[in-house]
A and B are shown apart, each in its own frame.
Chain A
């Protein structure tokens, strides 16, 4: 028996499920019809009691987010955050490519619940095919009366715009995303006010991740008790984990929260490539999630358990390193990423990531000195918690991963005056 539980990914293997007919043949848009007959406040309540939490990284309760919106204070906006860019994450892309109508349906129900008449999906610019799939689905949805005027005879009007990003990881941060959508540089905003009070165009706004919204139709259709019956008490439902790197079968695997990392890596992804031993894995992408060594394989994959073990669940991107891979080299690459993606607003992040990258290069190329490790720990300590948004905190993870958790490897680089690994 497999550990997989295909709810969000149930249609992935069905030919034509990405088109309107295929979607409705498998029960699509029934939840939306049901929702349009409900009181919006009851929908918010259903999502609250379901315990649904955001799948974009932070795990904030979705129903609570919706509940902050004053429906009478019109216009209100719903924005779907599809600016997926976290290294190792590819769940939202696959959802949009294979089941775009489920994203529209989730967005439409959320919009109805918060009184929104115009919803946006901000799709990462590089996602050519995923955005095209969304646009095709939106066109079909208009043709079939799922979007537009007087949807299903309910009197409810709803429009949707697919908006492309232009290559900036920071726009996955929700207030930077709003800046970008308004036509500015994607730099985070000061909070408060939170988007629920002043978001897009200074109007009440909900921003939810793709995977989060894709859960919504299932909860409306089957009820919050059903949803709560899956996963753990504090993390109900399933999660798509993206497995990549040194594994036999990279891919997205949907399992109930609380499944162990061992099951995901060894059973579902087929174990480490070439039968090698596991060295390390990320529980949730590159960001703010120090990597786990092989001793953490039995950690249950949910927010609380991963945090208790010393990291964060993030987006559920599990990158895997085999025994013969150099951790430092990968952490240098992550640090280059943060230096490149730092928006430049805050000095600790803009300057700190730049210097950390230089020091990583020095270590990896065998020019490092013993005292460098303490300096790097000091630099990361002066970035974390000292920036406007979380990107600064994210940038500390590669340092902690390589200098603290894999300190002996870092020291070996210094001692041998070079990288002791082939790859």
Chain B
């Protein structure tokens, strides 16, 4: 790994090298830039697009979108490192987000976090060796009526216990499709999730207004 790049206080950027963005992704980036009165508004969506294509915010992706927007890679990196949903190294297939804010903690979230970490043998910010699970401890997901809550690729599973949470994790590691949560939809793989986050599933005004 990139141990050499880890300097105290400096965000670790980025993970392993990646090929240039696909032609398709570049075309989609152009579409996002055209959507807003100022192209720079597409920067956050374009960072999601890089994650969809590369699995994380890669150095190559940063350079390319900087070039498209007429910015420096440093300007793009400054934005990417501000927001927690932009990841600086590849994630496991399923990103497991455990909320431990008081509404969840009062209902057993810390036990759930510990059980999941023990099951996977990793801590916060870690990824299992099989590349299936990444774990993060997150701030309030604002679904406190279903506490304790665990998100899987940003779909939420509610009213969990340490046992049901571990069962869910085991199923994911065994390659099973996650079950449909009580509210919301079945979690999608990262590339689909991040394309959606980029706003690419959205009806463009050009398509709609024509």
Contact = CB atoms under 8 A, between A and B. Distances in A.
Interface of A: 75, 84-90, 92-94, 97, 118, 124-129, 131-132, 135, 138-139, 142-143, 147-149, 159, 161-169, 180-186, 201, 242-246, 250-252, 317, 319, 321-322, 325, 329-330, 333-334, 337, 340-341, 343, 423
Given A183-B79, A251-B145, A333-B101, A166 B44 contact: yes
B45 interface: yes
Nearest to B82: A185
**Among all A-B residue pairs, the 10 with the closest Cβ atoms:** A167-B84, A183-B43, A129-B184, A166-B83, A244-B144, A142-B208, A167-B85, A183-B40, A128-B154, A244-B103
Contacts, number: 186
Contact of B40 (A127, A162, A182, A319): A182
A76 to B, nearest CB: 12
Contact of B199 (A159, A163, A169): A163
Contacts of A164: 44-45, 48, 197-199
A183 B44 contact: yes
A132 B185 contact: yes
Contacts of B199: 161-164
Contact of A129 (B35, B40, B145, B155): B155
Contacts of A333: 100-102, 105
A183 B41 contact: yes
Given A90-B145, A143-B208, 12 more contacts: A88-B101, A125-B85, A126-B97, A128-B184, A129-B155, A135-B201, A163-B41, A165-B44, A186-B83, A245-B147, A250-B103, A319-B106
17 contacts: A86-B140, A87-B140, A88-B101, A88-B102, A125-B197, A126-B85, A129-B184, A132-B201, A138-B203, A166-B44, A185-B82, A245-B107, A250-B145, A319-B103, A321-B106, A329-B105, A337-B139
Contact of A159 (B44, B185, B205): B205
A118 B79 contact: no
A124 B138 CA distance: 14
Interface residues of B, number: 57
B36 A97 contact: no
Nearest to B152: A128
Nearest to A322: B106
A168 B84 contact: yes
Contacts of A246: 106
B24 interface: no
B3 interface: no
B208 A166 contact: no
Nearest to A182: B41
Q: Which of B45, B101, B185, B201 has the most CB of A within 10 A?
A: B101
Nearest to B36: A161
A161 B35 contact: yes
Nearest to B85: A167
B68 interface: no
Contacts of B153: 128
